[in-house]
Structure 1
Amino acid sequence: MEKPGLLPLLDARLPLTEEGVAEAARLAGVSLAQAWGVVRYYPRYGEVREGRYLVDDPVARARGIGSLLEGTVGTHPPLGLEALAPAYVRVEGEERWVEVGGRAEPFATFRLPFALGHGRKLLPPEPTDTLEAYRAQGGLRALEAARKGDLTPEALLKAVEEAGLLGRGGAAFPTHLKLRAVARGEAPRYLVVNGDESEPGNFKDRFLLEHHPFLVLEGALLAGFAVGASRVYLYIREEFQAAIRGLKEAIGALEEAGLLLVPTEVFQSGGLYICGEETALLESMEGRRAEPRLKPPFPVEKGLWGRPTAVQNVETLAAIPRILEGLEAWRREEPKLFSISGDVAAPGLYELPLGTPLGEALRRAGGEPEGLKAVLLGGAAGVFTRDFAFPLRYRERLPLGAGAVVAFGEGVDLWAVLEGLAHFFQEESCGKCFPCPLGTTVQLALVQRRVRDARLVEDLASTLKGSLCGLGQSAYWAYRSLLEVEGAA
């Protein structure tokens, strides 16, 4: 049965007191011990030291983290600001600020610059902050057709299947299979939008949420309509405050226009990398620590509150209205968003056809492959490569992930970048299964000592492969690939 979520109840009582935690536990129907376990688990409920923090991402590491840390009190996990790096977070009392290029803006209003987006289908040619602006760009046609009965759930599912749409969050699972599995389940069913983008190097979902909320919502509502969902939840990273506010306003506008086909609400995420794993995400929504579940059963069978649940990535859902606009056009040039940052002249978000060679993608962003030492493809859970002819599409030799591309010039110390990735995995491991916290801790020590023993790395890989979820299972990819790049140099 659906209950008030513990996290929203705790958020409503910030700053927390013993009485506030006890009241939240009572309203959520959970034990006081569980409530305190959640409070101690999620960083946002702890005390944060005031001061200036460096956003620790691969680009900052490449710029020389030692000098960037001067005048700071520590580091902050990546925030999807790689195209603007180095960036800082400033904490003053209860307020948080993003600082880029010497200018500071509150979290509540900060958005990625609109000029970072380059595309035609998935990216808006101009801001679409209002329903009228989105409609003027051709939006809402599919949603209105569904409301009038001109578009049936089966027709929608068939279009998604014929488009061959794969999940854009990194797993590349066929979207129609997940949606059909939920549609076959017993009611109530749910659709959850996974907007907890925490992978270093990625900022595509953040950009869509901040600048194209109506496209994301139209896709989510259509998917919810197709599976017969009783409710749609948008699980959004807690730090994306401007996106959260904009989504709530967009939901209100759609409801006023009679286009909110399924009740929809925003849920602030737990604020950890592991929250992006779909079962850990569901655990946090149910008011527990964000720890992956054993599978099977899968969420499509037993997800949120034990009901059939489709968890879909932001970009995946944004693709659905575009597919319905013209299936053949979509199939001719299937667009994918790539977050390109680092040593390129114009870092930003680029919409490119799947299969575009890596070198061509870099040149679109003003990068010259011949002058690069390597590229980190796929983010922290990705690989270093110099294969600039590699076609950027799924189910190839290298992992595409969610589409992060971070370029590093000849002067970059790639081991410093790798140390940042290793530290990220070690910090973000939830600790539920033994191989992950053990393996990521050992990996960090090896990387800090710059151990180049390939056999030792394979032993490390054997340990991490036993992890419960993808965080641990992919944690060694960048380490192993860096040794390969060095060997090929």
Structure 2
Amino acid sequence: MEKPSLLPLLDARLPLTEEKVAEAARLAGVPLAQAWGVVRYYPRYRGLPQGRLLVDDPVARSRGFPGLLERADGTHPPLGLEALSPIYLRFTPEGRFLEWGGGWVSFREFRLPFALGRGRRLIPPEPILSLSQHRALGGFSWLRAWEAGQLTPERVLRAVEEAGLLGRGGAAFPTHVKMRAVAQGEPPKYLVANADESEPGNFKDRFLLEHHPFLVLEGALLSALAVGASRVYLYVREEFEAAILGLERAIGELGEAGLLPVPTEVFRSGGLYICGEETALLESMEGRRAEPRLKPPFPVERGLWGRPTLVQNVETLANLPLILREGPEAWRREEPKLFSLSGEVAEPGLYELPLGTPLGEALRRAGGEPSALKAALLGGAAGVFTRDFAFPLRYRERLPLGAGAVVAFGQEADLWEVLLGLAHFFQEESCGKCFPCPLGTAVQAEMVRRRERDKALLEDLARTLKGSLCGLGQSAYWAYQSLLEVEGAA
């Protein structure tokens, strides 16, 4: 890093003492009060719960949640395990484990089952965990052209623009616009791969990191060269320990092979939902609480350490090598999108489908029958319940697609119990920086607990939450509002 960052310094000194916190603050060059503010903000520093924990996700909420909870000592926020839900964890002084296959598997070893992946372009035919495997699939084929001067930054930017690639993290912002803005900035510049996948129902980025790390790294390096970034950071959700270790091995292998044209490193995230918001992410990398910044200026102008920074989602970056290999027109003809399908379907998993696929068809691919469902949750916590199974799964439509999470619920599911889980999630994950969000999410949780159906009250709540600084608060009421609409249409 340009400066020593506080979070890695604290991580290297766990378990923390007053002396260790003071040492980390001194090395990072930050006030001691700031260091203690960080320690008390991020879960892994203030003390993780111990014992047997139930992963509290929308699928578990729909499958007899009170009974599942009786067999646990507490709960843990979603971990991208919805295709396997319900899932129990065990946190002990010796480490963190997942209950799997009749035993306990360490977070350092557990990967999502590869069989969950169904696709042919972004999803490989087998786990690709070595450079030789990746190159056999055509990986880094563009590098010789780059070294020979036949592939230039402008050609890459133009290819991304012609493809019309939209960001896959949920905001669907045109990728080429962000890339060009950073390319025009003055060095030093940075690229940050946002792999802090915390949205309930999503596990696409986790799957890519665990089973196709070289594709993600290839996209990140290609993008970094195109915009003139001097360093690449992969900001990975800290619970994805196997993915982090795999990425670090892949970076080492690329370095040994001379295929690492830009210095690259992994940064363990702060471990909170708000860390997925790009400016809160940058705040945490700079050693502060993960609180969203006021915009403008945007990260492409003043990002990490005040320098132009390109923040891109994992799936977005993974598409760049495909666009170069296939050509923008061919890539766009059947534009691939990863969808995390879970809940009441026979084969939950990660499905690579063309953008525009009807929701009902996507569910049938996973062995679900729309006519037998009560509703589907589209887009995760920051999404909506719907029964419009003809809805085309693409961006800029009537319903938010988000990052591509789809959770199906059968007729027996209590959708109010699912909504209560989402409401508690928002309340717990609010960073507290702006007044409307912590107030609104707390009121919402109580309204959902009472199963309040007064639309006037919900409108008041929505007006409050719309005043939030970032998307966490601004979207927190969408699922609530949509559930009332689904009930009214039933």
Using the alignment, how far apart are the partners of 1:299 and 1:57 within structure 2?
31
Counterpart for residue 18 of structure 1: 18
Query: Aligned with 1:300: secondary structure?
Result: coil
Question: CA shift at 1:137, angstroms?
Answer: 1.4
Counterpart for residue 267 of structure 1: 267
Counterpart for residue 289 of structure 2: 289
Using the alignment, how far apart are the partners of 1:460 and 1:100 within structure 2?
41
* Greater mean deviation of Cα atoms: 147-156 or 17-26: 147-156
C-alpha spacing 1:402/1:439, structure 2 compared with 1 (3 Å): same
Using the alignment, how far apart are the partners of 2:332 and 2:70 within structure 1?
50
- Aligned amino acid, residue 316 of structure 1: T
> Is residue 2:327 matched to residue 1:329?
no
Deviations 1:180-216, CA, capped at 9 Å, x for gaps:
0001011000000000000000000000000000000
Question: CA shift at 1:101, angstroms?
Answer: 5.5
Using the alignment, how far apart are the partners of 1:134 and 1:393 within structure 2?
29
Using the alignment, how far apart are the partners of 1:64 and 1:101 within structure 2?
22
- Aligned amino acid, residue 358 of structure 1: L
Counterpart for residue 486 of structure 1: 487
Deviations 1:390-409, CA, capped at 9 Å, x for gaps:
00000000000000000000
Counterpart for residue 371 of structure 2: 370
Partners of 1:221 and 1:232 within 8 A in 2: yes
Deviations 1:254-293, CA, capped at 9 Å, x for gaps:
1111111111000000000000000000000000000000
Counterpart for residue 347 of structure 1: 348
- Aligned amino acid, residue 186 of structure 1: E
Counterpart for residue 433 of structure 1: 434
Query: Aligned with 2:342: secondary structure?
Result: strand
Using the alignment, how far apart are the partners of 1:60 and 1:261 within structure 2?
44
Q: Where do residues 363-402 of structure 1 align in structure 2 (5 Å cutoff)? A: 363-402=364-403
Using the alignment, how far apart are the partners of 2:45 and 2:144 within structure 1?
41
Query: Aligned with 1:53: secondary structure?
Result: strand
Using the alignment, how far apart are the partners of 2:36 and 2:202 within structure 1?
32
> Is residue 2:416 matched to residue 1:415?
yes
- Aligned amino acid, residue 111 of structure 1: R
Counterpart for residue 85 of structure 1: 85
Counterpart for residue 95 of structure 2: 95
Partners of 1:147 and 1:259 within 8 A in 2: no
Deviations 1:125-173, CA, capped at 9 Å, x for gaps:
1110000011111211123432332211100000000000000000000
Using the alignment, how far apart are the partners of 1:446 and 1:432 within structure 2?
22
State how many pairs are aligned. 489
Q: Where do residues 100-119 of structure 1 align in structure 2 (5 Å cutoff)? A: 100=100, 102-119=102-119
Q: Where do residues 94-243 of structure 1 align in structure 2 (5 Å cutoff)? A: 94-100=94-100, 102-243=102-243
Query: Aligned with 2:40: secondary structure?
Result: helix
Counterpart for residue 299 of structure 2: 299
Question: CA shift at 1:49, angstroms?
Answer: 3.7
* Greater mean deviation of Cα atoms: 248-257 or 274-283: 248-257
- Aligned amino acid, residue 183 of structure 2: A
- Aligned amino acid, residue 331 of structure 2: W
Deviations 1:58-86, CA, capped at 9 Å, x for gaps:
00000111110123110001000000000
* Greater mean deviation of Cα atoms: 175-184 or 92-101: 92-101
* Greater mean deviation of Cα atoms: 251-260 or 97-106: 97-106
Deviations 1:308-350, CA, capped at 9 Å, x for gaps:
0000000000000000011222111000000000000000000
> Is residue 2:67 matched to residue 1:70?
no
Counterpart for residue 360 of structure 1: 361
- Aligned amino acid, residue 366 of structure 2: A
Deviations 1:222-262, CA, capped at 9 Å, x for gaps:
00000000100000000000000000111111111111111
Using the alignment, how far apart are the partners of 2:480 and 2:379 within structure 1?
13
Question: CA shift at 1:102, angstroms?
Answer: 3.8
C-alpha spacing 1:408/1:300, structure 2 compared with 1 (3 Å): same
Counterpart for residue 319 of structure 1: 319
In the TM superposition, structure 1's runs of 4+ consecutive aligned residues that sit over 4 Å from their partners are none
Query: Aligned with 2:135: secondary structure?
Result: helix
> Is residue 2:59 matched to residue 1:29?
no
- Aligned amino acid, residue 13 of structure 2: R
- Aligned amino acid, residue 95 of structure 1: G
Partners of 1:147 and 1:261 within 8 A in 2: no
Using the alignment, how far apart are the partners of 2:14 and 2:147 within structure 1?
40
* Greater mean deviation of Cα atoms: 477-486 or 325-334: 325-334
For structure 2, which runs of at least 5 residues remain unmatched after alignment? Answer: none
Partners of 1:218 and 1:318 within 8 A in 2: yes
Partners of 1:80 and 1:203 within 8 A in 2: yes
Query: Aligned with 2:243: secondary structure?
Result: helix
Using the alignment, how far apart are the partners of 1:363 and 1:143 within structure 2?
40
Query: Aligned with 2:353: secondary structure?
Result: strand
- Aligned amino acid, residue 371 of structure 2: E
Partners of 1:234 and 1:267 within 8 A in 2: yes
Using the alignment, how far apart are the partners of 2:366 and 2:104 within structure 1?
26
Partners of 1:144 and 1:259 within 8 A in 2: no
- Aligned amino acid, residue 8 of structure 2: P
Question: CA shift at 1:473, angstroms?
Answer: 0.2
Query: Aligned with 2:142: secondary structure?
Result: helix
Using the alignment, how far apart are the partners of 2:193 and 2:445 within structure 1?
32
Counterpart for residue 2 of structure 2: 2
For structure 1, which runs of at least 5 residues remain unmatched after alignment? Answer: none
Query: Aligned with 2:275: secondary structure?
Result: helix
